[in-house]
Amino acid sequence: KPITEQHLRCVVDCFSVEGEFAGALPYGSGHINDTFAAYYQLADGTSKRYILQRINTHVFKDPKAVMENVIGVTHYLGKEIVKAGGDPIRETLNLIATKNGEYYHVDEDGGFWRMYIFIEDTTTYQMVKNAADFYNSARAFGKFQLLLADYPAATLHETIPLFHNTVDRVRQFKEALAANATGRANDVCDEIEFVLAREADTHVLVDQLADGKLPLRVTHNDTKLNNVLIDNATGEGICIIDLDTVMPGLSLYDFGDSIRFGATTAAEDEPDLSKVNFDISLFEAYTKGYLEVAGKVLTANEIQNLPMGAKLMTLECGMRFLADHIAGDTYFKIHREGHNLDRARTQFKLVADMEQQWDEMHKVVKKYI
């Protein structure tokens, strides 16, 4: 249902904001939530804007749990940033309370709304253009992990259960194979074989978590470049945003997913595999930035497993694309025939490249310990 101006007026009226509401405009290029900039006129003649968001409740079926996670993490971050002598208004998201003293408002249609302080004079980039951008985002995600190192991660809601449980992902993959809803499994034997040959790997991180050899951490789970606000003055990544998918997990999930999407020479859906290569220099840029900041809180075993994090997140993603291809493209939107198969193949190509450069990846990690 489209959001009318009248509706927006009603919503913002529930939040405890100084000044006179002057209107709201769609803002940014997020794909999940409805994001607006809400403008307010202040008594001194200046104006101020806030980020107003309606949570996508088709994606997040339990928005209350999402908000409890966001509240927990942002309040904790605020305190840690103050302790570290930073600016708690620019370096973390800050929720605005409602007039009822809550941090979200549920409208009459069941829409879930929240408001944040607008962090001014920053930019978000959509794509990794160079190693420096990637390095800056690594430092920002490293700082997120550093500041949240002592957060009681187990108290967070697992809003998407088993999200990066690679063992369970294999189970789901096999289910799609067995059902073979489209009959396509018969045409992708090499790709299926690629996954099944690596089934033992999918246990490596999950088992170490179960055995207490890897610590449960706060994970972001959407570590894209455009979820980092870059300070216009310094070029540094100052604030991690988009905390909807914050959950308990492994630091290696966030690290690995960043490498998966960033340390590559081609788009995720490039059909020409000769263009798709794992880029070890981008891997190095990210590893350097991440370890420079998070290195002091990560355990030796976490650091040792960074390459495995990269490989398993990439394998998992490929396996999900392939399962969806076989199931008939019911989860990931496709824009052409075989789109999910192309996507699966790029991921498997990256996994194969990583395996070939396994020793080099470990050497890079050692260099920045």
User: Where does this chain bind ligand ATP (CB under 6 A)?
Assistant: 27-28, 30-33, 35, 51, 93, 116, 118-119, 124, 222, 226-227, 241-242, 244
Q: Is 242 in the site for Mg ion (CB under 5 A)?
A: yes
- Dihedral pair phi/psi, residue 216, rounded to 5°: -75, 130
Per-residue x/- marks for Mg ion, 28-67, CB under 5 A? --x-x-----------------------------------
Nearer to ligand ATP, 38 or 364 (CB): 38
CB of 88 to ligand ATP, least distance (A): 13
Q: Is 117 in the site for Mg ion (CB under 5 A)?
A: no
10-15-16-17 Cα dihedral, nearest 10 degrees: -80
- Interaction partner, residue 119 (Mg ion, ligand ATP, none; CB < 5-8 Å by kind): ligand ATP
Both structure tokens of 44: 């001194």
Integer Cα distance of 227 and 129 in angstroms: 15
Please name which of 18, 244, 277, 282 lies closest in space to residue 132, comparing C-alpha atoms.
Answer: 282
CB of 184 to Mg ion, least distance (A): 30
Name residue 233's amino acid: A
- Interaction partner, residue 31 (ligand ATP, Mg ion, none; CB < 5-8 Å by kind): ligand ATP
Span interacting with Mg ion, options 26-34, 101-109, 158-166, 343-351, rule CB under 5 A: 26-34
- Out of 98, 145, 159, 227, which residue is the one contacting Mg ion (CB under 5 A)? 227
Residue nearest to ligand ATP (CB): 30
CB of 226 to Mg ion, least distance (A): 6
Where residue 329 falls (left for φ over 0; alpha for ψ -120 to 50; beta otherwise) is left
Q: Report in angstroms the alpha-carbon separations of 264 from 134, 242, 310, 349.
A: 12, 23, 12, 10
Q: Report in angstroms the alpha-carbon separations of 48 from 13, 36, 45, 234, 284.
A: 16, 13, 10, 23, 40
Q: Report in angstroms the alpha-carbon separations of 15 from 102, 242, 355.
A: 9, 20, 52
Nearer to ligand ATP, 145 or 226 (CB): 226
3-state secondary structure of 350: helix
Integer Cα distance of 222 and 257 in angstroms: 8
CB of 51 to ligand ATP, least distance (A): 4
Nearer to ligand ATP, 227 or 251 (CB): 227
Integer Cα distance of 143 and 204 in angstroms: 26
Nearer to ligand ATP, 16 or 186 (CB): 16
CB 221 within 8 A of CB 254: yes
Nearer to ligand ATP, 31 or 336 (CB): 31
Nearer to Mg ion, 30 or 215 (CB): 30
Residue nearest to Mg ion (CB): 242
- Interaction partner, residue 124 (ligand ATP, Mg ion, none; CB < 5-8 Å by kind): ligand ATP
Q: Catalog residues that contact Mg ion under the rule CB under 5 A.
A: 30, 32, 227, 242
